[in-house]
Structure 1
Amino acid sequence: MSETTEQPQNAEADGVNHYYSEQYLELQKEPVLYEWQIDHTPRAAWSSSLLMGGVFWLIALVTFINGNSHNAWSSLWFFLIFGVISVFYSRYLTDPNQLYHYRMTAKGIYYTQQDKIPEMAYTIARGIGGLLIVGSIIAVGLVGPLALAGAGAGAFLAFKINNMKPRIRHYGCIFKGSGEMSVFGKLCGIEIMEIPYSGGEYALVFSQPEEYQRVLGDITRALPQYKVIEAATRKEFGY
């Protein structure tokens, strides 16, 4: 955590990959007391990715059981490999880790949330998407028309990846009103939610263990009318 006084940033957005809330733009003008960054892993990132791969592995099993000896082995390897690619595509491109950069002010907290996707990942994924198209077309002769599904998926993947960029969202929460604050110490997480939800005052705050008590103390003192709820599990906390 670093002490800093930050000058207001340029609030221009590209309209596609950036989102700016009104609270962020307002709080951006306030002096920053301190700031910190954290790399957060989504709760169901791997389970949802494995589920996607499992669909292709199930197809591999079905085609292996129902196919003849030659085509069965070809289709088995084709869909097994496609399933592995789908798992990593889903985990690192559609459900990646989130990078948070928080700034605490006397008036509220504002932060950016960005997909953690290096440019190299896009380059590799584009290449894999192209190979899937070529490989699927070749596999039609070995596996049969079912491989056309792989060719279509590869084409969709390649097209989608070419237009992908990390999303950056800019949120803010002004300290006011009343509501609920859900906290989960094991994750060092704090969810601030205004009730009734009228002014858009919401924030999802994560911190490093050594910073957690300071952040939690500052927020609870700034929001005395908020009810603090201790989440027992990560599922209950929701993130």
Structure 2
Amino acid sequence: MTSEEDIAALDQQVYQAPVLFEWEYIGGESKDWIRLLTAIVSPGIGTGLLLLLFVLDDSDSIGVYAFLTTMMLMGFLMTRYLFLPDSHYHYKLTKLGIHYTKEDLIPEIAYTLVRGFAWVGIAVCLIALFVIGPLAFVGAGAFALMAFGMTNFKSKIDQHRILFADANILFNLKNDVLLDIIPKKKMKLAFSGTIYATSLEKKESIIAELIQQLGEVEVVDIKRLNEQYKHPVYTSAQSEQ
């Protein structure tokens, strides 16, 4: 088992080692249609619960529907562009591992719109207060928190790395740009990770570069991501437990 001191030393070395190959990727960690569906469904559930509260309170007015529409639209924008944004990955391959940066690509217009809708939401809730009663205070408070919370909210660049073990496995998800790297022996999480390519052709070139640097490596083609857990490296570890 590699000690924490060894990993700390390797962390420093992997960033200092010469870069042999580099590439970029822009996208999300999940499928675009999944993120879009989540962005639609998540605020829809919340809005539906609020609608139920208003129905139980016998509220039926334009103010109610304006309030719910604003909530729904703001929830969609926040979920899609703030919580599930595209990210810019910049990978650099060295002999010791891969280090890369990840930056969420959140358009400034998203911040502006969310802040704007939050302030509009406050106004709508205060107007609705005279129509639907105290329940509007709940929405007004939520919008106020959101407006102030978005004031200094900015994207940041995170540093990550995947260290190479002496023997590794590459799980190649066919018809996808995803590639998982794990060690053949049980090791720290620093030696495992997922990388992405811009295309299937680019992924093949990345695999070729990795094979040259990894030494002892097994490339396993899989059709579904969960198929990798049927590999002996996982099943043997489970049996040992």
Fold agreement, TM-score > 0.5: yes
Distance 1:93 1:107, change over 3 A: same
Is the counterpart of residue 133 in structure 1 residue 114 in structure 2? no
Indicate the residue corresponding to 1:51 in structure 2.
41
Task: Give, in whole Å, the separation in 1 of the partners of 2:182 and 2:159.
Answer: 17
Task: Give, in whole Å, the separation in 1 of the partners of 2:133 and 2:57.
Answer: 10
Indicate the residue corresponding to 1:4 in structure 2.
none
Is the counterpart of residue 169 in structure 1 residue 167 in structure 2? no
- Which range moves more in the overlay, 54-63 or 141-150? 54-63
Q: Contact 1:22/1:172 (CA < 8 Å) preserved in 2?
A: no
Is the counterpart of residue 40 in structure 1 residue 27 in structure 2? yes
Tell me which of 69, 74, 92 is aligned to 1:80: 69
Distance 1:159 1:182, change over 3 A: farther
Distance 1:25 1:138, change over 3 A: farther
Indicate the residue corresponding to 2:52 in structure 1.
62
Query: How far off is 1:133 after superposition?
Result: 1.8
Indicate the residue corresponding to 2:107 in structure 1.
118
Task: Give, in whole Å, the separation in 2 of the partners of 1:119 and 1:24.
Answer: 33
Q: Identical aligned pairs, as a percentage?
A: 25
Task: Give, in whole Å, the separation in 2 of the partners of 1:124 and 1:50.
Answer: 17
TM-score (norm 1): 0.77
- Which range moves more in the overlay, 168-177 or 218-227? 218-227
Distance 1:181 1:144, change over 3 A: farther
Task: Give, in whole Å, the separation in 1 of the partners of 2:9 and 2:106.
Answer: 26
Query: How far off is 1:33 after superposition?
Result: 2.3
Indicate the residue corresponding to 2:187 in structure 1.
197
Indicate the residue corresponding to 2:234 in structure 1.
none
Query: How far off is 1:227 after superposition?
Result: 4.3
Q: Contact 1:23/1:173 (CA < 8 Å) preserved in 2?
A: no
User: Any idea what SS the aligned residue of 1:196 has?
Assistant: coil
Q: Contact 2:122/2:139 (CA < 8 Å) preserved in 1?
A: yes
TM-score (norm 2): 0.76
Task: Give, in whole Å, the separation in 2 of the partners of 1:123 and 1:23.
Answer: 42
User: Any idea what SS the aligned residue of 1:28 has?
Assistant: helix
Letter in 1 for 2:153: M
User: Any idea what SS the aligned residue of 1:186 has?
Assistant: coil
Question: Please, which runs of 5 or more residues in structure 2 have no aligned partner?
Answer: 1-7, 229-241
Question: Please, which runs of 5 or more residues in structure 1 have no aligned partner?
Answer: 1-20
Query: How far off is 1:63 after superposition?
Result: 5.3
Letter in 1 for 2:111: Y
CA RMSD of aligned residues (A): 2.7
Per-residue CA deviations over 1:65-93 (Å, capped at 9, x if unaligned) read 5565x734431332133112101111101
Letter in 1 for 2:190: G
Letter in 1 for 2:94: T
Letter in 1 for 2:194: L
Q: How many residues align structurally?
A: 216
User: Any idea what SS the aligned residue of 1:120 has?
Assistant: helix
